[in-house]
Structure 1
Amino acid sequence: MAGEKVSIIGLGALGILFGQHLSKKMPPQNLRIIADQERIKRYETEQVYSNGERCHFQYVTPEEAVEPADLIIIAVKESGLKDALHAIHRHVGEDTVILSALNGITSEERVAERYGWDKVLYCIAYGMDAVKEGNELTYANMGKLAFGDIDPDGVSDQVKRIARFFDETDFPYEIDTNMKKRMWGKFMVNVGVNQTVAVYRGNYGTIQKDGEARDRMVRAMKEVIALSEWEGATLTDEDLHYWLAVLGTLNPEGKPSMAQDLEAKRFSEVELFAGTVLRLASKHNIPTPVNRSFYEEVMRIESGY
């Protein structure tokens, strides 16, 4: 992938994290940050920082004519996905691969509805403890992208091509041949960690130690395990323990995005987490009282904005 072009949309925590790393490994003209003119003006005026270091990004509007990207990374929140799918259209070419780093288990389907499954690989971002306040990002652990094919048990040329590029740019990644299960595992983590830390107004340290918050988090995650079997992902307690070990590596002072949203009085992704659990629970007639309580508590907090 010599001379590869990469486009990133979404300059939240993940967008800055990925963009700053790649900006040091690629020719600057080959990395594009897609944003509307108003956002670009704000980024250029206030600047963007990662661990105290100023980021030097090339910004392009959705209307600008550009060469198609070899790789597009979507790093917006779920509420911004519809607009993002429109904004990237000039960057999508015949050989473009799209990775969605969104939380949840549905974004790939929405990307594929617009651009086709032949452009999409399953993807999750995990292991990062980034916190974004204003225009400044701080983190101790960069984490990784795990990605793979829609169909399990194989490694396509697309996956190999992106892996070579990540090798060339020292980008931390992992290829997974059972991404559906992996995505459900990440969903389980988000359901537990994001909602627990947000409701308890804590940080990762809150759920890394024994106590009420951690116990409630684990119970919420076990409700996802029960649903996964009915949805063809079949998580087990072994997956739960794996992800609990990952959580133990995070900076205890860090916070997930949902906790940051509630602190800033922004509307959160509770519909993506507990909301999805409740809809699937209704579909399969499975009780999920812990996630219902999280849903009601977050909605009550947000109603007070």
Structure 2
Amino acid sequence: MEIKNVSIIGLGALGILYGNHLAKQMPKENIRIIADEERIKRYQRESVYCNDERCDFEYMTPEQLCEPADLIIFTVKYSGLRKAIEAVRNHVGVDTIILSALNGISSEGLIAQEYGRDKVLYCVAQGMDAVKEGNKLTYNNMGILCVGEREPHYISPKVTRLGEFFNKVKLPYELDNNMMKRQWGKFMLNVGVNQTVAVYESNYGQVQKQGQARDTMISAMREVIALSEFESVHLTEEDLNYWLQVLSTLNPDRKPSMRQDLEARRHSEVELFSGTVLALGEKYCFSTPVNQELYQKIITIEEHF
């Protein structure tokens, strides 16, 4: 079954990036942005821009009835995930494929609890250097979407179908037959990069070069490697080096989402990163002092908002 209709929920950096790209490759009416009425009015009043180009999106409220989507992409913040899961209900059909481009290692499970594991493919968005300020997104590198089944060493018909769609719409992607390891690797990178850049009030450039910030980042990532053993994921130093190479491709003047959030005095996804590390450390009686320190510093910053 060919993918023709796509619904996206969440107009943050990734929502704008993927929505704008798909809107140029598909009929306008086949891309729906799901948002509440108040947000839609704001988007229409102020417009949404991607690399200084106005985005021409079709908007739908969660209450509107519509033909089910062949593909739903979640690009909300983790704090808005549960509300978003309910908001897409009218877009979910028998053959709908669901992707979550959220950070962390838990969103797919929450979506699957509501709509069934058979509809959810695992996904990691990596390599993009997008920065969103207000209603404007800028990026140099849109990165890739890595997708696959939860079960390793298996490329299902759903995954193949999605790959064919991405080829058609010229969206950079990679099919991965070990998505749990890929997802944990991206989690490891976020735990290190997002939190370190936020605490050091810097940018990618600071952690791309040798120094205290980079040492802190790598130490936080190694705590994730240790915890991955308890979860039978088995990250290694080779995986760490792979993700450091991904980091090296990013624009040094750009900043990750957590740094952007704290600059804008928004509460961050710290619970998704070091919060998860600390919970796993407690579960397995394993000490995670670097993430403990990063967690405390970020919480202290947020207490002054």
The aligned residue for residue 87 of structure 2 is: 87
Q: Which residue of 2 aligns with 1:154?
A: 154
Q: Deviations over 1:182-221 (max 9, x none)?
A: 1000000000000001011111111111100000000000
Aligned-pair identity in percent equals 63
Aligned pairs for 1:194-233 (under 5 A) are 194-233=194-233
TM-score normalized by structure 2?
Answer: 0.99
Number of aligned positions between the proteins: 305
* Whole-angstrom distance in 1 between the partners of 2:170 and 2:10: 22
* Deviation for aligned residue 1:275: 0.4
C-alpha displacement at 1:2, in angstroms?
A: 4.8
Structural mapping, 1:140-289, within 5 Å:
140-289=140-289
2:107 is matched with 107
Which residue is equivalent to 2:133? 133
Report the equivalent of 1:7.
7
CA distance in 2, matches of 1:2, 1:46: 34
CA distance in 1, matches of 2:229, 2:57: 43
Alignment of 1:114-125 (within 5 A): 114-125=114-125
AA aligned opposite 1:87: A
Partner of 1:55: 55
Structure 2: distance between partners of 1:3 and 1:173: 16
Q: Which runs of 5+ in 2 are unaligned?
A: none
Task: For 1:201, give the aligned amino acid.
Answer: E
What SS does structure 2 have at the residue aligned with 1:127? strand
Asked if structure 2 preserves the Cα contact closer than 8 Å seen for 1:6 and 1:30, the reply is yes
| Partner residue, 1:75 | 75
Aligned-partner residue type, residue 80 of structure 1? G
| Unmatched runs of 5 consecutive residues or more in structure 1 | none
Structure 2 distance, partners of 1:163, 1:10, is 23
Q: Secondary structure at the match of 2:205?
A: helix
User: 1: distance between equivalents of 2:282 and 2:37?
Assistant: 43
Q: Tell me the equivalent position of 2:299.
A: 299
Contact 1:101 1:123 in 2 (8 A): yes
Contact 1:230 1:284 in 2 (8 A): yes
Q: TM-score, normalised by structure 1?
A: 0.99
Kindly provide the amino acid, as one letter, of the partner of residue 264 in structure 2: A
Distance 2:300 2:100 in 1: 30
Deviation at 1:3, TM superposition (A): 6.4
**CA separation in 1, counterparts of 2:31 and 2:22?**
8
- Please state how far the C-alpha of 1:39 moved relative to its aligned partner: 0.3
Q: Does the CA-based 8 Å contact 1:20-1:55 persist in structure 2?
A: yes
Question: CA contact under 8 A between 2:2 and 2:161: conserved in structure 1?
Answer: no
Q: Deviations over 1:145-196 (max 9, x none)?
A: 1010111101101001111000000001100000001100000000000000
CA distance in 2, matches of 1:119, 1:3: 14
Q: Aligned equivalents of 1:209 and 1:51: distance in 2?
A: 28
Q: Matches of 2:165 and 2:84 in 1, distance apart?
A: 24
Offset of residue 134 of structure 1: 0.2
CA contact under 8 A between 1:3 and 1:30: conserved in structure 2?
Answer: no
Cα contact 2:3–2:70 (8 A) shared by 1: no
Deviation string 1:4-40 (CA, Å, 9 cap, x unpaired) is 1000000000000000000000000000000000000
* Aligned equivalents of 2:99, 2:132: Cα separation in 1: 22
CA RMSD, 1 decimal: 0.7
CA distance in 2, matches of 1:296, 1:250: 27
